[in-house]
Amino acid sequence: MLDVWEGRMEGEEDGRLLLLSLSHLPGYSPFGECPLVIDDSTGPHPTDWSPWTHRPKCLYSREISEPDKRFCVFTNSRHGPRGLTIVTTPESAADSIAILNELANVTTRGLSYKIIDIPGKGKGVVATRHISRYEELMVDYAALAVDISFTTLVPARDGYRLLQLATKQLSDPDSVLNLGQSNAFAADVIENVLRTNAFHTILSGAPHMALYPEVSRINHACKPNAYTRFIPQSLGVSVAASRDIKLGEEITISYLTVGETSDVRQRSLRQWGFECSCDLCSSSAAEVAASDARRRQIDMLRHQAVQAFTDGKPYQALRITRQVLNLLPLEGLFPLYSEQYENIARVYWMLRDREKAEKYARISLDVLAEQGYISRVRPGDVEIMWNKFVEGG
């Protein structure tokens, strides 16, 4: 087994791996309703393993309870800017073939940022122009994705060899091999790259690690100026600014769930193998304490608002929610804006003030659209929200 990996990826659920949670990929198949499951017994002609450009190579699980489970390398070296290679089960690969249908959109690449050395952090990404709040600044595509159970179910040495092959088959293997490696426990180069840079993703319902060579250059900050959004149909990630970013400013994302206090953040980031030196962590003890106090207060008020609503005290819930809305910008917690407007809509809905309920429901949806979490507000979305309120969701 790849012992050094064991338990690690799953244990990192509170870490940056949670940044992206993919929805199930659409089950499109060029072969009809039932996608063709292929493995290393399929062949021997390239058309037999098309649309993959290389014949799959597989390893069997050594787990007695799952003797037939196998993981194979599926590569399409012509996909996207550097090719795509997936180490997964033949079933997941068949189910995910629609990814190859999506043409890589690289229009934003290189336009608004460059990768440079950042003292104390290795490489990093800086803005080459002013970037406006919520503007998309980077789109990137997975080069390598690996089923997390692969790391525990196959013999270590063979597993490392399969990962080497997976990387070698890319059109640009260096885009993976040259990524940062700062993990002290990794026994292999690609394992180190994965441990330092991989995002958690779901492919065909199963957890995978995915490497995005450009996004992986973005350093962490506890109060970042950018955030990531996953594009499930293409195994892509887009990065957008969470506030205006100045020319020359470093672009940062959070590897953790946003809003945690300093002690929780430091503990989690140490698991990632580094001590955080972002602006917030480098500020004075008084500033860190003030930020922690605000984060605790936001957390407490959010719970109190729910309680007030549950206790049938709508005006109290409204007052508390407005307090939360005032505090969120101070900690850069923009992902929580929409939730507050939805809560206000819920209170007015409870008070049977249809006009105000609709107004705040729309604001909540508009915020999600502005932040790029939904592509647009569709007719009927507000009604969906009413149904959610009726069902108590």
Ligand X SMILES: C[S@@+](CC[C@H](N)C(=O)[O-])C[C@H]1O[C@@H](n2cnc3c(N)ncnc32)[C@H](O)[C@@H]1O
Which chain residues interact with ligand X by CB under 6 A? Answer: 121-124, 179-180, 182, 196-197, 216-217, 219-221, 272-274, 276-278
- Shortest CB 333 distance to ligand X, Å: 18
Q: Which is nearer to ligand X, 190 or 317 (CB)?
A: 190
Instruction: Give residues with Cβ within 8 angstroms of 20, minimum separation 6.
Output: 199, 200, 201, 228, 230, 237
Of 76, 95, 70, 100, the residue nearest 205 (C-alpha): 95
SS3 257: coil
**8 Å CB contact between 57 and 162:** yes
Q: Which is nearer to ligand X, 121 or 362 (CB)?
A: 121
Q: Which is nearer to ligand X, 263 or 311 (CB)?
A: 263
DSSP letters spanning 92-128: HHHHTGGGGGSPP--TTTTTSEEEEEETTTEEEEEES
- Shortest CB 152 distance to ligand X, Å: 23
- Shortest CB 65 distance to ligand X, Å: 34
**8 Å CB contact between 274 and 256:** no
Q: Which is nearer to ligand X, 125 or 328 (CB)?
A: 125
- Shortest CB 275 distance to ligand X, Å: 6
- Shortest CB 255 distance to ligand X, Å: 7
- Shortest CB 146 distance to ligand X, Å: 16
**8 Å CB contact between 306 and 340:** no
CA-only gyration radius of the chain, Å? 23
Residue 41 CA to residue 49 CA, distance in Å, equals: 10
- Shortest CB 207 distance to ligand X, Å: 19
Q: Which is nearer to ligand X, 42 or 182 (CB)?
A: 182
* Helix intervals (H) in 71-229: 90-95, 150-153, 156-168, 174-177, 189-197
Q: Which is nearer to ligand X, 241 or 256 (CB)?
A: 256
Q: Which is nearer to ligand X, 121 or 229 (CB)?
A: 121
Q: Which is nearer to ligand X, 15 or 180 (CB)?
A: 180
Residue 334 DSSP code: G
Nearest residue by C-beta to ligand X? 122
- Shortest CB 197 distance to ligand X, Å: 4
Backbone angles phi, psi at 344, to 5 degrees: -65, -40
Across-strand partners of 87?
A: 73, 146
